A and B are shown apart, each in its own frame.
Chain A
Amino acid sequence: MPTLKINGQEITVESGLTVIQAADRLGVRIPRYCYHPGLSIEGNCRICTVEIEKMPKLTTACTTPAADGMVVWTDSPPVDKARKGVLEFLLLSHPLDCPVCDAAGECDLQNYYMAYGAYQSRFAESKLKKRKVVDIGPTVLLDNERCILCTRCVRFTNEVSRSGELGLLNRGVETEIGLFPGKKLDNLYSGCVVDICPVGALTDKDFRFQVRPWYLKSTPSVCPHCSRGCNIVVDWQTERPHHGGGKRVFRLRPRHNQDVNRWWMCDIGRYGYHFVDSAHRLREPLMASEEEPEEGEKAPMIPTNWERALGKAADLLAAKPALVVSGEASNEELWAFRKLVGEEAHALYYLPPPEPPDHLLFTGERSPNRKGAELMGYQIVLGKGAETAIREAAGEAGALLVVGSAFSDSLQRAGSSIPIVVISPLWKEGRARVVLPSAVWVEKDGTFTNLDGRVQRFRKALQPLGTARPGLAIASSLAEKMGRSPISAEAGHAFASLAAEVPAFSGMTLEAIGDGGWPAKL
């Protein structure tokens, strides 16, 4: 357990850590390009040089193991001078791309130049030309001129995604990042190389030129695309609707959580947000026409207002309803809908057919809250088996309340003749008497329980599209109309009631869960 001093502050760390890791523990920020806590240490960028007393020369903080009695200075005059020199070399052949570069605003060359560089350019020669806009895979583009050869992406593909597509090609000043022959950067984690690229060399095709990053606002959230529940950040903006064709959510980024996803997330989750602003989003309630449809025809769906739609739904659900939930229903919503239909009613949780999991994060279970449904006493129904289960549930019930959009096919095939009320953010077509538009996960507050039973909180970033309402608010209104015991429309209150009733959640509050999540109870 070495004890060392960094900028006069003393810290004791476990042996094996390097100086930069010890400094991070202390909150002393040492600049870095090639060092990444999730990757092996390479020590090639030289920006993290620090002064260590009794060492003959400046040394890199990322490769030097912390040793007992070390005295480290991270911003002494020799260190400043060395950093200026490193930056000057890194910027020698850097193109004047900031105006067209996606990374401007999030670029460590810019940040460190202002913080540590701020020297006057002395470069009078002509810049080296390299390949630009290289298509290296379905999701990522490479610009070799912007690259500073930190090799974070190479190490990522070797160590984390274990697909090994990228490597360093050529020699000397002509060294560049490239693909191995016959390979494409095409793996489930390819988007992560854009996150870890400290400059603008790797850009995301999905995000490219959509919006300048400094217009984006960020909200901590949880990925809803599989039962892992990777911690993410939702980057969104609404003040400039002329950017990105009116999109509101522009990208999802992983948020570091050592216990769940560390620094990574998969491409399924990363690019799976487009449904948020999709044209299929339902913006106002629909009601089936009262007129008798022709033989073999479905009754046409007519837009209506919330008051009428809720009234109609409450009438239909008065007759011994059964409940089928799927998709991104939060713990609070699962609990609220269960309350709404009554404890004795059939409550099913539909899960799409599982896909094969991979070595890192993706679980194959395409639902963020299966564990939560289990804890809440739902019967889990899977894939094709769902048809039978839904038919059985519907057979005994007087009405069917369907929450979520994942199983409209099963619903069709179940072919029950009882009235169906659907609460869903998306709607194409299907057999239902009332369809109520609900908010998607970035438009509401709540929690998911991941496959290990960890309860994680996601926060509201956007207002629901159109007149859509969060599922909890709909449950609350329906409870009022149906004369059931009141359900709070506010996630914090609903969670408190849930925690009081369901033993697996006892002792938790939304505030205490915070952005780190509440570990599973054993």
Chain B
Amino acid sequence: MAKITMREAISQALMEEMDRDPAVFIMGEEVGVWGGTYAVTKGFYDKYGPERIKDTPIAENAIIGGAIGAAMVGQRPIAELMTINFAFSAMDYIVNQAPKLRYMFGGQFKVPMVIRAVGGGGRQLGATHSQTPDAIFAHFPGLKVVSPGTPEDAKGLLKSAIRSDDPILFIEHATMYQVRGEVPDGEYLIPIGKSKIQREGSDLTIVTYCKGLELSMKAADELARDGIQAEIVDLRTLRPLDMEPVLESFKKTNRAIVVEEGWKSYGVGSEIASRIYEEAFDYVDAPIIRVAQKEVPLPYNRTLEQAALPQVADIVEAAKEVLK
């Protein structure tokens, strides 16, 4: 097993799938000659040429709309959004067209499209370029929302996403491209819609995904020093949501916190907590705590930005609180 970065893992997934299937192509802002804002597609333009690595105008509506059209006539487009914040410009296509076409045309069309989008804060990009609006997209039936927290999962899930016949929003985190992790050698796929226990424990359950996983793993190390064994369930996919490992873990620990980077209100944590209350009420031994971003537009100032984002210390504190 090689230890590679998240960037390399995503890059490998794209390249393997492009080599495997000539219908796969990439389009987005600066993905070609420049090699991608986060350098994920560096070298792709030289290898595959302008036909399959398409630089687009700064027009998100056109990127997603074009990708949907291509997908409907048999291609497998990977549309890149430089940041997920630009998705709002293409909102109609993302939530109102792509997820509904197959349904509304009675299965005559399918939309095998992957939208790769970079989300998350922490890089001082200001309030409009640092958001984590994952829950908004996960709200819409028909759109699968995937957001991995390890290089291994990123590679395996992205390959599955490219092969899927349904539109998929694949959310990567802006501060995680340098995160290293072990990735299996050779070809492998990870099924979409399966949560995973990333760390076993018996005292409480931490439910999280993406950046929250990185923070929660560190928090779990700290908690272990105090003799607290946290079990971490990584959702990996927000829709379809796989609650089985969450409920199984919760029935064992009876206490849970949910960690997400987005805002608390109407968020992933709310959804998970509700489901636990609904499906495992008799196992609840303490109110579930949500750890999330402070409810303000994310500040530019570094100190304030870090104060607004959920931190390892917040998770440790919430874990101790839920165990009281």
* A and B form one complex: no
Residues of A with Cβ closer than 8 Å to B?
none
Residues of B within 8 A of A (CB): none
